[in-house]
């Protein structure tokens, strides 16, 4: 976590406390607000919040005490740009910049030109201490909630979501995008269609019900088996006379039809695979590789997409861009040197506190099982006596590994 990220997180927790715990009704955000993921595409704020009570999102631009005067004005421009995707934005700046009284200057500027014209709030903190807010100024304008796509920002976690995606498959998807080049139309759909037809459901395995090994390698060294449970169930149902083969074949073809709609397998695994790529900022909203994506692709190409070097680089990106380091530090804060019956009880306590603090929504069952699975594969957490949790100690994070990755 960079110094900038650390300061941002400190300020965000102070703001969430103001909105959730000490909300006096004068803020635009209700006490239901929580932190969620920021967009991977340009422009990407330092913090994104969703307020389910008001059904709108807000973005935060944070400028550190080391920022220049020009950088503060750039931050104002960034705050304006966030209004393209959010109903409300906030600019958080230090009280002094380069010995200049930024507090007085920006307060006057907002009162004269911003507050009653644009839904942008101003937050000024003591340049010596980001957690000490000196000025908190809401915009004097009605918040527009009509033109927002809140599907993604309403998801209630601030870190990258990983579900079942083999990291080898991540590289293959980026490789397809890399070679696709410029493309008209739905570029992400073209990437997914090729990946699905060539790697998930290749021609030689179609229209059969025996589970098969794909050419995708899992992190445990075994080959990824697409639709394994679904194929096995169809196979068993045919053998037991529950369904005839022609009906099963219709269901299989429907599930794998790339022109199909609804909750079919073709779309289900895309929903599992694509968000992680977006959240680690490996590509933009159109599927063009970012600098991070190009580096992931290069390392996989040179050293192999199942090599230790490749996995280590993904782990580093996961920690920093995917904000898993922030999650790990939050887990540490609530479990270190405490006695819980087992890991599940410890994580329940973590989740309870994250929800209370507004760092996680209260929706859904979030046991962090997927996160621990990925961390285990990447050696970011280790088992002692076959357990990830040690009583009176905490979660057994591999800090030697984590710090070596951060310093590499």
Percent of the chain past pLDDT 90, that is, above it, reads: 81
pLDDT at 337 over 90: no
pTM of the model: 0.89
Q: Which of 66, 60, 69 is nearest to 88 (CA)?
A: 60
Residue bearing the bigger pLDDT, 154 or 49: 49
Tokens, residue 129: 């201490």
Q: Give the mean model confidence (pLDDT) for residues 204-231.
A: 94
158 near 37, Cβ under 8 Å? yes
**Confidence band for 296, pLDDT divided at 50, 70 and 90:** very high
**What is the distance between the alpha carbons of residues 326 and 388, in angstroms, rounded to a whole number?**
18
Domain 3-137 has CATH 3.40.1350: yes
pLDDT tens per residue, range 97-136: 999 999 999 999 999 999 999 999 999 999 999 999 999 9
Return the minimum-mean-pLDDT range out of 30-39, 151-160, 224-233.
151-160
The helix/strand count (H/E) of the chain reads as 14, 10
Beginning with the edge strand found earlier in the chain, give each strand of the sheet holding 56-62 in spatial order.
34-36, 47-51, 56-62, 88-94, 120-126, 129-137
pLDDT at 365 over 70: no
Q: For residue 190, is the peptide bond before it cis, meaning its omega torsion is within 30 degrees of 0?
A: no
Q: Give the mean model confidence (pLDDT) for residues 368-375.
A: 94
pLDDT tens per residue, range 255-271: 999 999 999 999 999 99
- Whole-Å CA distances, 153 to 36, 49, 87, 104, 219: 6, 7, 12, 33, 30
**What is the distance between the alpha carbons of residues 315 and 375, in angstroms, rounded to a whole number?**
8
Q: Which of 252, 251, 171, 152 is nearest to 216 (CA)?
A: 171
Q: Pairing between strand 88-94 and 129-137? A: unpaired
**What is the distance between the alpha carbons of residues 285 and 278, in angstroms, rounded to a whole number?**
8
Q: Which of 377, 399, 273 is nearest to 331 (CA)?
A: 399
pLDDT recorded at residue 193: 96
Q: What are the residue ranges spanned by the domains of the chain?
A: 3-137, 167-315, 323-406
pLDDT at 402 over 90: yes
pLDDT recorded at residue 362: 75
Q: Which of 162, 97, 161 is nearest to 124 (CA)?
A: 97
Angle at 303 between CA 300 and CA 305, to 5 degrees: 35
Q: Which of 63, 88, 94 is nearest to 76 (CA)?
A: 63
pLDDT tens per residue, range 52-80: 898 899 999 999 999 999 999 999 999 99
């Amino acid at each position: 976590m960079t110094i900038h990220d650390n300061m941002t997180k400190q300020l965000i927790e102070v703001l969430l406390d103001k909105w959730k715990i000490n909300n006096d009704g004068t803020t635009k955000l209700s006490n239901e607000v929580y932190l969620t993921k920021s967009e991977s595409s340009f422009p990407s704020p330092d913090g994104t919040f969703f307020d389910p009570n008001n059904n709108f999102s807000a973005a935060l631009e944070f400028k550190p005490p080391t920022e220049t005067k020009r950088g503060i004005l750039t931050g104002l421009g960034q705050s304006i740009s966030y209004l393209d995707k959010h109903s409300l934005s906030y600019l958080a700046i230090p009280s002094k910049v380069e010995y200049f009284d930024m507090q007085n200057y920006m307060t006057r500027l907002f009162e004269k030109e911003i507050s009653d014209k644009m839904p942008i709030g101003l937050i000024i903190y003591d340049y010596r201490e980001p957690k000490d807010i000196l000025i908190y100024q809401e915009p004097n304008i009605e918040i527009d909630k009509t033109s927002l796509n809140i599907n993604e920002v309403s998801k209630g976690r601030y870190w990258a979501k990983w579900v079942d995606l083999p990291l080898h498959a991540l590289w293959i998807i980026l490789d397809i995008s890399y070679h696709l080049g410029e493309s008209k139309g739905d570029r992400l759909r073209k990437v997914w269609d090729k990946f699905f037809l060539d790697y998930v459901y290749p021609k030689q395995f179609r229209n059969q019900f025996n589970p098969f090994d794909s050419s995708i390698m899992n992190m445990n060294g075994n080959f990824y088996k697409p639709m394994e449970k679904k194929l096995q169930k169809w196979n068993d149902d045919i053998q037991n006379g529950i369904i005839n083969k022609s009906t099963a074949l219709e269901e299989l073809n429907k599930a794998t039809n790339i022109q199909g709609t609804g909750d079919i397998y073709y779309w289900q695994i895309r929903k599992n695979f694509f968000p992680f790529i977006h959240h680690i900022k490996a590509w933009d909203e159109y599927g063009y590789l970012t600098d991070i994506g190009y580096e992931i692709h290069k390392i996989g190409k040179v050293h192999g997409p199942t090599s230790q070097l490749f996995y280590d680089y993904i782990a580093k990106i996961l920690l920093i861009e995917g904000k898993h380091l922030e999650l790990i530090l939050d887990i540490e804060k609530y479990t270190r040197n405490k006695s819980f019956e087992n890991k599940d009880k410890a994580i329940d306590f973590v989740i309870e506190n994250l929800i209370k603090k507004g760092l996680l929504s209260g929706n859904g069952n979030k046991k962090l099982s997927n996160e621990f699975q990925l961390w285990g594969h990447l050696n970011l957490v280790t088992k002692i006596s076959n357990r990830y949790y040690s009583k009176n100690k905490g979660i057994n994070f591999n800090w030697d590994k984590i710090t070596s990755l951060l310093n590499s």
